Chains A and B, each alone.
Chain A
Amino acid sequence: MYFAGVDIGSTMTKVVIVDEDGELCSRIVGPTGAEHRRLANRVMEEALKQANLPFNQISYVVATGYGRVNVPFADRQITELSCHAKGVSSLFPNVRIAIDIGGQDAKGMKIINGTLVDFVMNDKCAAGTGRFLEVVSDALGIKVEDLGSISLRSTNKVKISSVCTIFAQQEVVSYLSEGTPLEDIVAGLHEAIAGRVVRMVKRLKIEPDVVLTGGVAKNIGVVKAVRENIGLEVLVPEDPLLSGALGAAILGKETVLKALAKGELIPKKERRLEEATFFT
């Protein structure tokens, strides 16, 4: 049996397929964006190709992420908070605090024995989300991927005082114009975003293990800043983008196995990859 998790985030769409032992059979990441958002099925298609499976072989599909309601072929929708918690604890069984810095939000999750017990979330203000770094690195004229390594060279990071992302962008430009070294500015940005997120997550009373996920977790500079702000070791999964989709797939698996254990049979349904329609 195979189980799929589809995580439609605000910027990235991820699909994971696992078998009944939880082994990863497929992992796909593609951009979301105004048009792509409608094409969850395309990404699913790729995932199936990679796993080299017909769609009918998928016993259960769980959709998550902020676009979860737009996955017509999903059997169930579960919020990204529960899915991240599940995905992260499947990779790090001892996790107590999971921090996910996504494209348009940041979440803190308190996890006990693999289940979500409390959470905090910011999707009100772009500062403290992945967008913050994207928007500002734009102004710096450098790729987001490069931010991390650049920041490590910093000896004296600047203080970003703007609360609004757009204004932070301007602040950055004035720093540049004053000839402030790039690495110090970037380090300042990492401090700004890490500071904001950690302040929020501290409301959950942080205790180890702490795991950081989301696209931003690929940024070594942010990881460092988060570590400094928490004062604890911070673990990062090998592919920090996937934990939501992974958790979704695993939750799907658990649903099915629970049902089977109860002796209920999962009706084999004809699965079709239809395009999402949004006129319902």
Chain B
Amino acid sequence: MPVAEETKGLSRVKELYQDRPQRVKELKGEGRKVIGYLCIYPVVEMMTALDLVPYRLFGDMREPITKADACLPPMVCPFLRSSLDLALKDKYPFLDGMVMAHICDVGERMAHIWRTYVDYPYFYFMDVPHTTHKSALDMFKEEIKGFQKSLESFTGKEISAEKLKQAIRVHNDQRALVRELYDLRKTDPPLITGTEVLQVMVALAGIPVGEGNELLRDVINEIKQREEKSPKQAARLLVWGSVIDDVSLIEIIENAGANVVMDDICVGTRSHWSEVELTPDPLDGIAYRYLVGIKCPRTFREAALDPKGKNYMADLENRFGYLKDYVRGWNVNGVILQSVRYCDTHGYEVPAVRDYLNSLGLPSVYLEHDYSQSSLAPLRTRIEAFLEVLG
């Protein structure tokens, strides 16, 4: 096979997973503008509609945090500290701009710190309400409008409703393809491992949506034709919690003798599950998808009061009902709750989500780590013990 031939499918995924920026660097060379963003609230459709390349920033749990220690305290989310650390170490020379959103306390603070110490031609901070009240949706729509305006003045181009709808369609295509890929995990054993899926998700976050869709199609075809299936395991697990952008943890889980068949994290279902509805005014659909559609504990949801007042179980159903579909659809028999240390939005959630899983009769275990490889190793025993509990 000639060396020159470009790699496709999973091998391409592995390339992109190993060296995330390689593609945007090329595109940058071709004169495209690259906009970095953190977390999943910045509206990627807007960037796509302006031919900008959205590039999602992650941390690096293999790289010790040093520079960021000078401007972020040790008692905040190590994932965010790591992300800033990489920026301070000038790992993103190819960025033309940066978009951050009010994702959580530290995310909000860090946006301003980032902006102070690392300068880009373009920077936008997007406020995101915490409630899903009607008034919050209206306000958020206006906020997105503001983001659109700022992007337009940065590029000197206008986003026509048609262009925006186009962008929405391609991104929805990607969401549909991701769900198609996830369907391949429903079989027992799953056709694709959790580790591979995560690599795909990470790869997607670093390339233009169109290329991502091509890549997904290749991967899906490859997987469908797979001869050797991943080993059949007793445990079919769902992994819940804060961001996972490195395969280490999933590898530990799968090496311990389990299949990771579903996830509820923001490099997975949270970032791809819900679509943007094509509303007459596209912004309505976008606002709704990002505020209500994305299921992250940073947003407050509560069941409507019934005549007797408030009902905890109804509340749990309203907050976590989507997990039931995951569990049933993917035939999950155990859940691993994991979070980086100092993540408040996930921390407060843990007892409630366990209450809900118990109501479904699903065993779960909660693991906390400080987003460094060394902090993952000790989790092995807990994971193995959990699998022994599952029997």
Contacts and interface: CB of A to CB of B under 8 A. Distances in A.
A contacts B directly (C-beta below 8 A):
yes
Interface of A: 66, 78-82, 116-119, 121, 123-124
A82 B368 CA distance: 21
Contacts of A78: 388
Contact of A116 (B378, B381, B382, B389): B389
Interface residues of B, number: 9
Interface string B379-391: 0011011001100
A116 B391 CA distance: 10
A137 to B, nearest CB: 25
B381 A66 contact: yes
Contacts of A121: 381-382, 385
A82 B382 CA distance: 11
Contacts of B381: 66, 79-81, 121, 123
Contact of A123 (B378, B384, B388, B389): B378
A79 B384 contact: yes
Contacts of A123: 378, 381
The binding surface of chain B is classed by DSSP as helix
B171 to A, nearest CB: 40
18 contacts: A66-B381, A79-B384, A79-B385, A79-B388, A81-B381, A81-B385, A81-B388, A82-B385, A82-B388, A82-B389, A116-B385, A118-B363, A118-B389, A119-B389, A121-B381, A123-B378, A123-B381, A124-B368
Contacts of A116: 385, 388-389
A214 to B, nearest CB: 15
B134 to A, nearest CB: 39
Contacts of A80: 381
Interface of B: 363, 368, 378, 381-382, 384-385, 388-389
A118 B363 CA distance: 9
A116 B378 CA distance: 20
Contacts of A81: 381, 385, 388
Contacts of A124: 368, 378
A79 B385 CA distance: 6
A124 B367 CA distance: 11
B389 A117 contact: yes
A41 to B, nearest CB: 23
A267 to B, nearest CB: 23
B385 A119 contact: yes
A224 to B, nearest CB: 29
Nearest 7 CB-CB pairs, A to B?
A81-B385, A79-B385, A82-B388, A79-B384, A79-B381, A123-B378, A116-B389
A107 to B, nearest CB: 9
B164 to A, nearest CB: 48
Most buried by A among B363, B381, B382: B381
Contacts of A66: 381
Nearest to B370: A124
A81 B389 CA distance: 10
A147 B368 CA distance: 33
Nearest to B256: A79
A244 to B, nearest CB: 12
A248 to B, nearest CB: 12
A79 B388 CA distance: 8
Contacts of B384: 79
Nearest to A110: B389
B256 to A, nearest CB: 10
Given A82-B389, A121-B385, A123-B381, 13 more contacts: A79-B385, A80-B381, A81-B385, A81-B388, A82-B388, A116-B388, A116-B389, A118-B389, A119-B385, A121-B381, A121-B382, A123-B378, A124-B378
A280 B381 CA distance: 20
A91 to B, nearest CB: 20
A66 to B, nearest CB: 7
Nearest to A78: B388
A121 B367 CA distance: 10
B334 to A, nearest CB: 12
Nearest to B364: A118
Contacts of A117: 389
Nearest to A81: B385
A119 B363 CA distance: 11
Nearest to B341: A124
Nearest to B387: A79
A68 to B, nearest CB: 9
A120 to B, nearest CB: 9
A5 to B, nearest CB: 15
A124 B385 CA distance: 17
Nearest to B369: A124
Contacts of A79: 381, 384-385, 388
Contacts of B363: 118
Nearest to B351: A203
Nearest to A117: B389
Most buried by B among A79, A121, A124: A79
Contacts of B385: 79, 81-82, 116, 119, 121
Contacts of B368: 124
Most buried by A among B363, B382, B388: B388
A121 B385 CA distance: 11
Contacts of A118: 363, 389
